Amino acid sequence: MVPEFASPNPITSTTHTDQVNWFSSNAPDFAWSATDPNGASGSGIAGYSVDIDSTPDDVIDTTATSKTDYTDQSEGTHIFNVKAIDKAGNSKTESYTFKVDTTAPNTPPSFDANGSTNTAIKVTWDESIDNAPSSGIKYYYLERTAAFGSTAPTNDYDTYGYTQIAVINALTHTLDSSEAGDTLNSTGSYEYTDINSLSENWYLYRIRSEDSAGNTLGFSHVANNNSGDGYALGRPNFAPVPSALTRSPATINLPQALDVNKKLTVDFTVSDDDTVSDISSVLFSIRRTGDGVDLFGPQEINSAPVTLSNFTSTRTQDDANTYSYHVEYVFPDNVVPDNAKYGDYTITVETKDSIGTGDSDVFRYASVDLPPAAVSDLSAARYSATKATLTWSNPRSGSRSSSEEGISKYKIYRNSAIGTPIDNITVNESDLTWDGSKYIFRWGENGGANLDIDTAYQFKIAAIASNNESEEGFSSSAANATILKPARVQGLNIQNTSSGTDYSLLVQWDIPAIGDDTDTTLNDITGTVNYKIYRSVGSDPFGSGNPRVGDFSAYAYRSTMGMYNVAGAINATKKLLLDDNISAGDLTTTHYYAITVLDDRNNESDFKVKSIVPQSGNAITIGPDVVAGSIGVNTAQVRWTASFNSSIVFPCVMTF
C-alpha cells in the first residue's frame, strides 16, 4: 500500500498560509506529515522527494517533514510538490500552491489636499499601479498632522508627526476606518473629505498604498511640494484675498469742470493661496457712508475689462494664483439730482471663490472724502445795531435740499475786522430760512451773540456733510459788515419860553428817521421809543463824540419836572421837553442839548445837537377882558387878550 499523508491539511506553510492569496515572502516554508497505512507491519516511510513547479522524482531528498530553506523564489504563482516514499518503494505525491509578490505598488499619483469649505479639506489621489505579478491594490493608508495654524510648515514634510485618519479599502472602495463624518467618493480616482479641520489652519497629509501581498513603499517623500511623492499640504478653503486698496486721491473736491479732477483710481491684487486658484468673483462698489444703497455697483470686474460711462476696470495676471486690478471711477457732478453727495465714501471689494457666498467671502475697504465745497456767494448785510443778515446758497448751483447735496449743517464764523476769530456757531440746515434762492440767517437774532454797534465784522461759512458732522468743508471767502446805529431824531429845535423871571426852554424834536444818515437804521426801534436827553451849559462836549465814546453821564438831563428818557408813541411825530431848570446867572450862557434814540436792546444812536442862549421872557398878563363863557358840566371856554404879540409854543392847561 502507498503511504498516506495526514488529513485534512497534508501540507501547511507559515509564510504562505493559504493557496489563494498573495504573499510578499519569496522564502516559503512548508510542513507536512505522512504515515504507512500498514502500520508497524509495513515497510515504513523511507523519505521524501520535493520540488517546486516540477514533479518530484523517486530520489529521496529529505527524511524531515518540512522544507524551510527556499530563498529568492521568483514572483508569481508556484506549486510546491512533495512525494512520500516508503521503504518498499511505494510513493504518493501532494501539492501546495503559493503565490509570491514582492513588488510594492507605486505611491498614489496626483496626491493633493485642497480646501472645500471653511472647515473641510478634500484629499484626492488616483489609483496606484501595482506592477506584475500584481496582486492588486488592497489598502490606502491616510495620515494627517495636527493643525499648524495660519502659517504653513517649512521643514521637510516627513519630519513632522502624523496620525492615521483613514484606511481605504481599494477592493470595496469603502472606508475601513475614518473620522466620524468623513466621506469617500471613488470612481477610479479618490476624494476623501476631511471635515474635522480648523478654519484657516494648515495641515500636512501623507498617503501610502499597499497591495494584497502586503507590499508597500511606505510614505514616500521626495521634496516638499513635489507632485511625485505622497505628501500634500492643504488647509480649509480660503476665499481669494484682496490686498489693501490703494486709492488716489484721498480727497476729491466737487464741483469740478473736468472729469480728471473728479476721478478716483483704485489698485489692488487678489490672491487665492489655498492651493486651488479658483477666483470666481471680484465685486467693486462705492457707497456713501451711512447710506442704504450703493452710489455705484456692485460691479463684477473679475473677468473681461469693464467699460461704462463713468467706470473702467482692467485685470492682469501676476502668477498662477494672483491677479492685479485697476479701477477708475468718475464721481457724478453737476447732474442734479444725481450729484454725488458730499461726505465720506466707502470703497468695497468683495472676493469669492468657487465655494460661493458665505464665510468664504473676503472684504476689503478704503475710504475717500468728498468734503463740501466752499460757499461762493456769502453776503453779509448790516441789519440793526446788534444784528447782521447773512445770505448764501449751497456750494453747487441748481440744488438746495440737504437730501440732494448731503449737507446737514452750516458752521458760521464771526471774525474781527482784521480777521481775528471771535466765535462761531453751527446751525442745522433744516432750521434755516429759504427764500427760494438763498438761505437767510440773522446773526444776533437766529443765533450768535449780539454784535457791537458801529463795529466792523467779517463772516465766513463752511458746510458740514450729513454723514460726518465732525468734519466741516471748505470755508467761504469773508463777507464784511459794519453794524448800523439806531436812527437819530429829526428836526431838533429849541425855543425860549421864559416868562419874566420864570426861565425855561422848550426842546422839540421829530421822531427818529434815517434821513441822510445811511449808517443808521429803524430796525429794532419798535413800539414805544425811548430817548435820552443830555444838557451842557457853557461848553459843547457832544459835537466831537458820540454816546459810545467818553462818559456823558454827567450831562444826562434831569429836570425839576422829572422829565428824563422822554417816551412817546412811535406814531407821534413831535416830542417836547420843557427845561425850566435855568438860573438867572445862565441867561447869557449857551445851553447845548443832545438827544439820542434807544432801540429795543438799549443801543444808543448818535447825538442830535442844538444850542441856544436863554433870554428873559415877556411877562404874560391877562387883561381885564378875561371872559369865561360856554360853561358846561365840566368845561369852560376862556377868552383873553395877550399883553404882547405872541404865538403859542407850549400850551399849558390848568385844571381846578
pLDDT, residue 652, reads: 44
d(CA 597, CA 559): 19
Fold of 112-234: Immunoglobulin-like (2.60.40)
Does the global pTM surpass 0.75?
Answer: no
| pLDDT at site 74 | 94
Do the domains spanning 112-234 and 486-612 agree at the CATH topology level? yes
Calpha distance 295→314 (Å, rounded)? 20
The ranges of the chain with pLDDT < 50 are 7-8, 559-571, 644-656
CA-based nearest residue to 239, from 267, 269, 274 = 274
DSSP state of 160: S
pLDDT digits (tens, 9 = 90+) for 57-81: 999 999 999 999 999 999 999 999 9
Torsions phi, psi for 554 (to 5 deg): -70, -15
* Separation of alpha carbons 233 and 148, rounded Å: 11
pLDDT at 370: 94
CA atoms within 13 A on the CB side of 221: 14
Count the Cβ atoms, other than its own, within 10 Å of residue 17: 11
Please give the class, per CATH, of domain 4-100.
mainly beta
As a whole number of angstroms, the distance between CA 606 and CA 331 comes to: 56
Contact call for residues 6 and 31 (beta carbons, < 8 A) = no
Which CATH number among 3.40.1440.60, 3.30.450.20, 3.40.1380.10, 2.60.40.10 corresponds to the domain 486-612? 2.60.40.10
Going by C-alpha positions, the residue among 345, 362, 353, 369 that lies closest to residue 243 is 362
Instruction: Measure the CA–CA gap between 61 and 372, rounded to whole angstroms.
Output: 111
Q: Is the dihedral of CA 201, 204, 209, 210 positive or negative?
A: negative
CA angle 118, 119, 123 (to 5 degrees): 105
* Domain locations in the chain as residue ranges: 4-100, 112-234, 241-369, 379-483, 486-612
pLDDT tens digits, residue range 81-127? 999 999 988 999 999 999 999 999 999 999 999 888 878 899 999 99
Q: Is the peptide bond before 28 cis (omega within 30 degrees of 0)?
A: no
* pLDDT value for 502: 86
- What is the number of helices (H) and of strands (E) in the chain? 1, 48
Q: Which residue has the cell 504562505?
A: 16
Q: Which three cell numbers stand for residue 267?
A: 489698485
Kind and range of the H or E element at 4?
Answer: strand 4-5
Measured between alpha carbons, how far is 623 from 611 in angstroms, rounded to an integer? Answer: 34
Per the structure block, which three cell numbers stand in for 33?
A: 506529515
**Residues contacting 222, CB < 8 A, separation 6+:** 228, 229
Cell numbers given for 169: 479599502
**Prior bond to 249 cis, omega within 30?**
yes
Give the right CATH number for 241-369 from 1.10.4000.10, 2.60.40.3880, 3.30.450.20, 2.60.40.350.
Answer: 2.60.40.3880
Cell representation of residue 136: 492588486
Whether the CB-CB separation of 418 and 461 falls below 8 Å is answered with no
Residue among 342, 359, 478 at smallest CA distance from 401: 342
The answer for residues whose C-beta is within 8 angstroms of residue 106's C-beta and 6 or more apart is 128, 129, 130, 131, 209, 217
Q: Closest Cα partner for 209 from 218, 197, 199, 201?
A: 218
Q: Which CATH architecture has domain 379-483?
A: Sandwich (2.60)
Residue-wise pLDDT tens digits, 519-576: 999 999 988 888 999 999 999 999 878 898 888 988 987 544 334 344 444 446 778 8
How many residues are recorded in the chain? Answer: 656
pLDDT at res. 564: 39
Say how far residue 373 (Cα) sits from the centre of its chain. Answer: 22
Residue 205, Cβ density class (10 Å: 0-12 exposed, 13-18 middle, ≥19 buried):
buried
Nearest to 119 by CA among 234, 235, 233: 235
pLDDT of 286 reads: 98
If one counts every other C-beta atom within 10 angstroms of the C-beta of residue 93, the result is 17
